[in-house]
Amino acid sequence: MDLTDFFIENPKVALGLSGGVDSAYLLYAGKKGGADVGAFFIKTMFQPAFELEDARRLCQELGVELHVVEEDILSQEMVRINPPDRCYWCKQKLFSALKKAAAALGYPVVIDGTNASDSAEDRPGMRALGELSVRSPLRECGLTKDQVRALSKEAGLFTWNKPAYACLATRIPTGRWISPEELSKVEQAETFLSGLGFADFRVRVFHGSARIQVREEQFDMALEKRRDILARLGELFPAVLLDLQPRG
């Protein structure tokens, strides 16, 4: 099966649009294939503002209406206490909300952007998707991340080279309760570093402090901008650390 076949067999679907590479290409492919693809962005504390901005920009460029579903993700206790399988409980809550919103608008099938490069072994969230009967067309059609990027570039999508981005909850160590305040601090810190020119980096919480992970080629820039980083992130965290293990 290829994507053309998938959208012929499923001409009316609701897509969980994250603003990232994979779901962006699915929206493009579905629209190109003549399918009615409803774009749904689930807005929670785990998604930074730029993801919603990218989703809105994409929908505007493709002429698709974006449905924003707001969800209080921390009302789910198994998400809030942050166990090793937090992603399972998170996906259960988010895609249950998406399915309800999609059904109300007449969409019988829900799809997401999981691709063939994503391993089910280390992704408990994929188990939740299976239980909710969420389809993953890219994975079903054998399309890898690299192939999706190449196809996105060919299609002229601005998302084609967007770095992979995991939700803000991944910045909090497993077992540490997730709070709105800490998520906000992480988002502010990452927004600041992005504005300084850093790309594909993380600000992780480490015993309450900020641990910055950058790619090896950006170590020099981190040292050059050390004073600026300490001044801003020092307002948010009691200590600011640079991880000497480069982000791979």
Percent of the chain with pLDDT over 70: 98
User: Mean pLDDT over residues 136-151, rounded?
Assistant: 96
> What is the spatial distance between Cα 91 and Cα 99, in angstroms, rounded to a whole number?
12
Q: Which amino acid is at 35?
A: A
In contact, 214 and 246? CB cutoff 8 Å = yes
pLDDT band at residue 125, thresholds of 50, 70 and 90?
confident
Mean pLDDT of the chain: 95
pLDDT of residue 124: 82
* Each residue's pLDDT tens digit, 154-211: 999 999 999 888 999 999 999 999 999 999 999 999 999 999 999 999 999 999 999 9
Alpha carbon distance 33, 4 (integer Å): 6
Residue 200 backbone class (left: φ over 0; alpha: ψ -120 to 50; beta: rest): left
Given a cut of 80, is residue 123 above it in pLDDT?
no
- Residue 13 has a pLDDT of 98
To which residue do tokens 């779901």 refer? 23
Using alpha carbons, select from 45, 165, 72 the residue that is nearest to residue 113.
165
Condensed to tens digits (0 to 9), the pLDDT of residues 220-238 reads 999 999 999 999 999 999 9
8 Å CB contact between 98 and 110: yes
Whether the pLDDT of residue 122 is over 80: the answer is: no
pLDDT band, residue 248 (cuts 50/70/90): confident
Q: What is the DSSP letter of 102?
A: H
Among the residue ranges 53-67, 108-122, 195-209, 221-235, the one predicted with the least confidence is 108-122
Measured from the Cβ of residue 152, the count of other Cβ atoms closer than 10 Å reads 21
- CA 184 to chain CA centroid, Å, is 16
Q: Dump the DSSP string for 112-151.
A: ----TT--GGG-HHHHHHHHTT-B-HHHHTT--HHHHHHH
3-state SS, residue 13: strand
CA 211-184-221 angle, to 5 degrees, is 40
241 sits in which H/E element: strand 240-242
pLDDT at 225: 97
pLDDT of residue 205: 98
Tokens found for residue 15:
């897509």
Strands 36-43 vs 66-70: parallel, antiparallel or unpaired:
parallel
Report d(CA 240, CA 158) in Å as an integer.
Answer: 33
H helices of the chain, where?
A: 3-9, 21-32, 49-62, 77-80, 86-104, 124-131, 137-140, 145-155, 180-195, 219-224, 226-233
Tell me the C-alpha distance between 168 and 164, whole Å.
13
